[in-house]
Amino acid sequence: MIPLIGRRLLMAFLTLILVSLIVFVAVEALPGDMASAYLGRDATPESLAVLREEFGLNAPAYQRYLTWFGGFLRGDLGDSLVRNKPIMEVIGNNLRNTIVLAMTASAVGIPLAIALGVFAALTRDRWPDIIVSTISIFGMTLPEFVTGTFLIYIFAIKLKWFKGVATMPSDAPIDAEFFQIIMLPVLTLTLVMMAHILRLVRTSMIDVMISDYVQMARLKGVPAWGIVFRHALPNAMLPTINIVALTIAWLLGGVLIIERVFNFPGIGNLMINGISDRDLALVQAIAIILAAFYIGINLLADLASLVLNPRLRTARGH
């Protein structure tokens, strides 16, 4: 187990390096630079030269990357030169908002997806299963911005139940008003994330319910609830763990579109602004943080699978 964890941690570190390189090259390839984006229409050759010297943009690209990476190894993500603040101070509240949004959607969507997946499996090929499966197919196929726009039209414009745009500053307190404002983004994310988990839980439950040990439990007179919750569901959840982890990781990194649709002050919106400003340090830091979340959650999911299924430990040990 320990060598396996060590290998995964090493792969995680190498993946973070690769992510930082990709982001650095991508931002460098964009037309213009941070100095021209910062000065805008007031840019002159002389002012651009002065600002590039001040920002260190005249140094070779590899040198600037190595300088940033050295700071990253020391736990220093650098400063946002455009905003003239430390990176963690810039992203702190936005990161908090994105985490709250993602965790709220997870807390609602994951249990609901599991429950509906089990319900659909137990009513296989009957009308409840058909309704649930149809809704999940729409959730999987419709892009997030389409789902979000549709919900805004229904619940914000027509019914006027919720606000269609998140009108709050990034440092807004997390209170009842905060959760009322994020209801539509949470509902959109919930519908999107539920679809994938629901389909997998349904398929796994159907496979488990027709297995030999479940049939044996029926012959022994085990009550239906005992078969479902003590025998079938724990085994059906094993292949679902990684999907749940991937979904949570996607929520942390993939809410960019949703944040843009609802003007939500999260890390996705901040990253888009950083790209527009050519604020490489900010974009790089956000990418590293999201990659670290993604890799860490998947590592935890793999470890959970190993703990719950000893056969995987034996197989990977070889």
Single out the residue in 240, 268, 285 at which a domain terminates: 240
Residue 8 included in any domain: yes
Instruction: Verify that 113 and 78 share a domain, yes or no.
Output: no
Over residues 270-279, the mean pLDDT reads: 80
Distance of alpha carbon 125 from alpha carbon 203, whole angstroms: 12
What average pLDDT does range 245-263 have in this prediction?
Answer: 76
Residues 231 and 217: their CA atoms lie apart, in Å, by: 8
SS (H, E, C) 109-155: HHHHHHHHHHHHHHCCCCHHHHHHHHHHHHHHHCCHHHHHHHHHHHH
Domain check: are 96 and 236 in the same one? yes
pLDDT tens for 88-129 read 888 888 888 888 888 888 888 888 988 888 888 888 888 888
Amino acid at 211: S
Which residues constitute the domain of residue 213? 92-240
Residues 125 and 200 in one domain: yes
* Same domain assignment for residues 140 and 216: yes
Is there a single domain that holds both residue 107 and residue 217? yes
Is residue 307 situated within a structural domain? yes
The answer, yes or no, to whether residue 318 has pLDDT greater than 50, is: no
Which residues make beta-bridge pairs with 86? Answer: 79
State how far the Cα of 280 lies from the Cα of 274, in Å rounded to an integer.
Answer: 7
Answer with the one of 240, 269, 294 that is the final residue of a domain: 240
Q: 281 Cβ partners below 8 Å, 6+ apart?
A: 68, 77, 78, 79, 80, 81, 87
Is 105 found in the same domain as 72?
A: no
To which H or E segment does residue 86 belong? strand 85-86
Question: With 60 as the cut, is the pLDDT of residue 314 above it?
Answer: no
Domains: count for the chain: 2
Indicate if the alpha-carbon torsion angle 105, 111, 112, 113 is positive or negative. Answer: positive
Beta strands in 222-289 (DSSP E): none
State the Cα angle at 215 between 213 and 219, rounded to 5°: 110
> Is the pLDDT at 310 greater than 60, yes or no?
no
In the chain, % helix, strand, coil (3-state, to 5) comes to 80, 0, 20
Phi, psi angle pair for 23, to nearest 5°: -65, -40
Is residue 249 included in any domain, yes or no? no
- Residue 264 structure tokens: 């939500």
Based on the fold, state whether residues 132 and 170 are members of the same structural domain: yes
Residue 72 shares a structural domain with residue 164: no
Q: Which residues pair with 79 in a beta bridge?
A: 86
What distances in angstroms separate CA 65 from CA 31, 33, 74, one per listed residue?
18, 15, 14
Please state the rounded mean pLDDT for residues 246-269: 78
Q: At what angle do helices 280-308 and 240-253 cross, to 10 degrees?
A: 170
Average pLDDT over residues 158-164: 83
Tens of pLDDT, residue by residue over 176-221, are 888 888 888 888 888 888 887 888 888 888 887 777 777 777 777 7
In terms of domains, do 69 and 96 share one? no
Q: What is the pLDDT of residues 284-303, one digit of tens each?
A: 888 888 888 877 777 777 77
The answer to whether residue 267 is domain-embedded is no
Among 220, 240, 260, the domain-final residue is 240
Residues 195 and 143: beta-carbon distance below 8 Å: no
Locate 245 and state its tokens. Answer: 């982890």
Mean pLDDT of 16-30: 79
From CA 288, how far away is CA 294, in angstroms rounded? 10
96 part of a folded domain: yes
Domain assignment of residue 254, yes or no: no
Both 28 and 150 in one domain: the answer is no
Top mean-pLDDT range of 135-149, 150-164, 267-281 = 150-164
CB 92 within 8 A of CB 174: no
**DSSP designation for 214:** H
pLDDT of residue 265 exceeding 80, the answer is: yes
156, 162 contact by CB (below 8 A): yes
Q: What are phi and psi of 279, to 5 degrees?
A: -85, 85
Residue 61 lies in a domain: yes
Residue 114: how many other CB atoms lie within 10 Å: 21
| Claim to verify: residue 114 and residue 215 sit in the same structural domain | yes
Domain check: are 231 and 210 in the same one? yes
Cα–Cα distance measured from residue 11 to residue 68, given in angstroms and rounded to the nearest whole number: 21
Domain assignment of residue 141, yes or no: yes
